[in-house]
Chains A and B, each alone.
Chain A
């Protein structure tokens, strides 16, 4: 499937973009016509939003709250820094690639400044806002249950992260305090849209980056020569949604993990290793050898580490592709910090 660039987050300028007028000059600004509709539509499509504005933070936030829009913006950057650094801070805080951002500003200077540092950011003139919803980059192929609540998922992440930052003590104690429940089940038909979305959206915690269409995933799901697993994570702050996907090719005496991915929102939750150890257990039970494919790049190093530390050894290297094999010895118990539920097969 051809990879089409889709925007994951729209970053708005405020003065003369989101609202008419310049706040430091005149407190009496009014919202741009139709802007709330546009924001709500983006939100319902699962596209996140933020702010990059040169303004006094408290003043601008007060105004945003007056308009009742404060819950739409994740990590708003309102300061006097160059907008390129604000855009970068937003991508890093949300933990998505900067190439998935769009930036809307009325000032050519600001758009050029952002584009100079980050040519991969889609910069949009505020004069074109009325056409924004029609752009193909703003139209995800599917709108899933997870995309509709995406902003909520991120808002609970912000809450968790704040608690994590102020948490004294080892990471594992923090993880235990979350009461995590990690569920692994064979993918059902209703999971496939989200599964396709995960293969397209996930880059960092993705072992191979193979993307599969809905139709291909439907084939794997029902094929006897494949296992397609989907994983969800929940904790006391709510659900993370469907965050993991694994595709295994089953040969007579050998299983090959073609793809193993986890949403970047569960980074450092240790669930990738849980998934791998589950597969190691299953391979052992079925008396098959276990291999996995890995295509390394600058972004997915965490997955390489996860395989290596789960005892996978390199047996073959062809260009970017590494083939690992696991000897299925010394499989650790599931960690104490998460409850693991294994869904029933079909």
Chain B
């Protein structure tokens, strides 16, 4: 899967929560209060299911999930490690 496919899927998922907002690839979705911690959990569950990876306790850091680039980079690293 290319990075663009990954980003596309994440963007589609994020669009269900963040509407009327053009999200930039490096925009911090938590700092800008676009989403809250309840959303963070749903995001983790989505990533695990969609990309078939296991998010470990040590991966649960907002830095891995706070921008589109971060999420896609995190998924790439996990997929390569597997």
B36 to chain A: which residues have CB within 8 Å? 270, 273, 332, 335
How many B residues touch the partner, as a band? Answer: 10 to 19
A170 at the interface (CB under 8 A from B): yes
A309-B60 contact given A171-B42, A273-B37, A335-B38, CB 8 Å threshold: yes
Contacts of B38 in A (CB 8 A): 171-172, 268, 270, 273, 335
> B16 touching A306 by the CB < 8 A rule?
no
A305 within 8 A of B: yes
> In the assembled complex, how far is the CB of residue B74 from the closest CB belonging to chain A, in whole angstroms?
14
On whether A309 and B62 interact (CB within 8 A), knowing A171-B38, A171-B42, the answer reads yes
Known: A170-B16, A170-B17, A332-B36. A308 touches B42 (CB 8 A): no
Is B41 a contact partner of A296 (Cβ separation < 8 A)?
no
B44 contacts chain A at the CB level, 8 A cutoff: yes
Q: Contacts of A309 on B, CB cut-off 8 Å? A: 37, 40-41, 60, 62
With A and B bound together, what is the CA distance between A302 and B16 in angstroms?
Answer: 22
Rounded to whole Å, the gap between the CB of A318 and the closest CB of chain B is 15
Does A73 reach chain B (CB closer than 8 Å)?
no
A311-343: which have CB < 8 Å to B?
311, 332, 335
Q: B41 contacts A305, CB within 8 Å?
A: yes
User: B21 at the A/B interface (Cβ < 8 Å)?
Assistant: no
A217 to B35 CA separation, bound complex (whole angstroms): 36
Per-residue CB contact flags for chain A residues 191-213 toward chain B (1 = under 8 Å, else 0) read 00000000000000000000000
Among residues of A, the one whose C-beta sits closest to the C-beta of B36 is A335
Q: In the complex, what residues of A have CB within 8 A of residue B37's CB?
A: 270, 273, 306, 309-310, 332
- Does residue A304 face the partner (Cβ distance < 8 Å to B)? yes
Q: Which residues of A contact B62 (CB under 8 A)?
A: 308-309, 311
Question: A305 touching B44 by the CB < 8 A rule?
Answer: yes
Q: How far is the CA of A55 from the CA of B60 in the complex (A)?
A: 46
Q: Which 6 A-B pairs have the closest CB atoms?
A: A270-B38, A309-B37, A308-B60, A309-B40, A273-B37, A170-B17
Listed by A's residue number, 18 A-B pairs whose Cβ atoms lie within 8 Å are: A171-B38, A171-B39, A268-B41, A296-B57, A301-B57, A302-B41, A304-B57, A305-B44, A305-B60, A306-B37, A308-B60, A308-B61, A309-B37, A309-B41, A309-B60, A310-B37, A311-B62, A332-B37
